[in-house]
Amino acid sequence: MTNQIITLTRHIIEEQRKHPEATGKFTDLMNDIAFAAKLISYHTNKAGLMGVLGEAGSVNVQGEFVKKLDVFANETMVYALDHGGHTCVMASEEEEDIIPIPENFPLGKYVCLFDPLDGSSNIDANVSVGTIFAIYTRTSPEGRPGILEDCLQTGVNQVCAGYVIYGSSTMMVYTTGNGVHGFTLDPSYGEFVLSHPNIRTPKKAKIYSVNESNFDYWDQGVKNYIHYVKQIDKETNRPLNSRYIGSMVSDVHRNLLYGGIFLYPASALAPNGKLRLTYEANPMAFIIEQAGGKASNGKKRIMELKPESLHQRVPLFMGSSDDVKIVEDFIQGKREN
C-alpha cells in the first residue's frame, strides 16, 4: 500500500522491534514526550490570545495561561514523564538541580534531560520556538532514584535525542542512532506523522547563523572565519547567506534541511559561550551527526566532552560537515583566510 500514514508511535514501535531485548518502556517514554509536545504546541499557539482573553475576563483563562510559557513547558514535560515507570531522574534548563521521580511512582532505567522551551524570548513576537530532549540509560544501580552522575554522561551515550519545533507547523525530529526522522503534527487528528524520513544534511553550507553583534568580543579565529564566509568566491559558494532567528532549534532545523552552519562561539563576555552542553548542544549534536553533519566546540567533538555540571556552557559550531571542519581550522589557527 502506498501513501500509508506512519505515525510517530508506529515508527518507534517498528524501530524497537529490531531490538529483541526492548521492553516497551522506551516507546512509552517517547509517547509521553509526544503528548507533552502536543500540549506545549497548543499553548504556544494560544500565547497571543493570553492578553486578549485576560482583558475580556473570560472564564476560559486557565491558571496556566498566565504562567510564563517556559515555566509551563517545564511543568508539562516533568508531569508527562514522572509517572510512567520509565525514568529514574530528569534534568531541565528551568531547574537548578536534578529532578527526582516522586516516591509514589515507579522508577525506570531512562534519564531524560531537556530544554522545555528554547528561544522563549521570541515567543511574544510569534517567532518559532522549540523543545529539546536527550535520553540516556542510567549508569547508577537500578531500584534506587537516579543521581546527578546519570545526567552527566558524555553525549555519545545518548540513546535518543530529539527536538520539537513549534513553527508554521509543529514538528518532532528524533534519532535513536539510526538516522534522523521528522514528523509533522496533523492538527486535525492530533498525531505526529512521518513527513521527513531519513533526513540528510548537505555537506556544504549555504547559510551561516550567528549573533554577529558579538563580533568584537570574539577571538581572532572566529572573526577571521566570519570574514571568510562573507568573501566573494564562486567556487566555494561564498558569500554564505546570513540567517539568524535567535531560537537555536529553529536555526538548526532550517540549516539541517538547507545546509548551513550554526555558531555560538565563546566571547570575552561569555568565555564558555552561551548554550548548555547537556540539554542543548548534545542532543542537537547527536541529530546533526546522524544526518551526516558535525558538531564541535572548535577543538573537539561535542559528544565526547564530559559534562562536569548540569548547566555547563559550551562554545558551539554545528552543521554541514565541510564548514564545521573549516571553522575548526580557523579557531585552531591552522588558517587565517
**Alpha-carbon span 299 to 78, nearest angstrom:** 34
In terms of residues, how long is the chain? 337
Strand-pairing partners, residue 175, are 161, 180
Strands of 87-92's sheet in order across: 99-100, 87-92, 110-118, 129-137, 160-166, 170-175, 180-186, 191-196
- The correct pick among 15, 82, 118, 289 for binding Mn ion (CB under 5 A) is 118
Using CB under 6 A as the binding rule, whether residue 328 contacts ligand AHG is answered as no
C-alpha Rg value of the chain to the nearest Å: 20
When CB distances are held under 5 to 8 angstroms depending on the partner's kind, the choice from Mn ion, ligand AHG, none that residue 246 binds is: ligand AHG
**Alpha-carbon span 97 to 91, nearest angstrom:** 7
Provide, rounded to whole angstroms, the least separation between the CB of residue 211 and ligand AHG.
Answer: 3
Q: Report the run of H or E that residue 184 belongs to, with start and end.
A: strand 180-186
- The correct pick among 61, 246, 258, 322 for binding ligand AHG (CB under 6 A) is 246
Cell of 194: 512521518
When CB distances are held under 5 to 8 angstroms depending on the partner's kind, the choice from Mn ion, ligand AHG, none that residue 247 binds is: ligand AHG
**Alpha-carbon span 13 to 28, nearest angstrom:** 10
Cell of 237: 559558494
**Alpha-carbon span 218 to 181, nearest angstrom:** 35
Contact 323/306 with Cβ under 8 angstroms? Answer: no
Question: Which C-beta is closer to ligand AHG: that of 244 or that of 258?
Answer: 244
**Alpha-carbon span 164 to 116, nearest angstrom:** 10
Using CB under 6 A as the binding rule, whether residue 16 contacts ligand AHG is answered as no
Provide, rounded to whole angstroms, the least separation between the CB of residue 313 and ligand AHG.
Answer: 11
- The correct pick among 181, 254, 274, 313 for binding ligand AHG (CB under 6 A) is 274
# residues near Mn ion by CB under 5 A = 4
Using CB under 6 A as the binding rule, whether residue 164 contacts ligand AHG is answered as no
Provide, rounded to whole angstroms, the least separation between the CB of residue 294 and ligand AHG.
Answer: 18
- The correct pick among 23, 169, 178, 211 for binding ligand AHG (CB under 6 A) is 211
When CB distances are held under 5 to 8 angstroms depending on the partner's kind, the choice from Mn ion, ligand AHG, none that residue 328 binds is: none
- The correct pick among 15, 32, 82, 115 for binding Mn ion (CB under 5 A) is 115
Which of 279, 232, 278, 284 has its CA nearest to residue 263? 284
Using CB under 6 A as the binding rule, whether residue 62 contacts ligand AHG is answered as no
Question: Which C-beta is closer to ligand AHG: that of 38 or that of 274?
Answer: 274
Any idea which residue has 522549540 for its cell?
130
Question: Which C-beta is closer to ligand AHG: that of 32 or that of 115?
Answer: 115
Question: What string marks each residue from 99 to 138 as x (binds ligand AHG by CB under 6 A) or -?
Answer: ----------------x--xxxx-----------------
Interface positions with ligand AHG (CB under 6 A): 93, 115, 118-121, 211, 246-248, 274
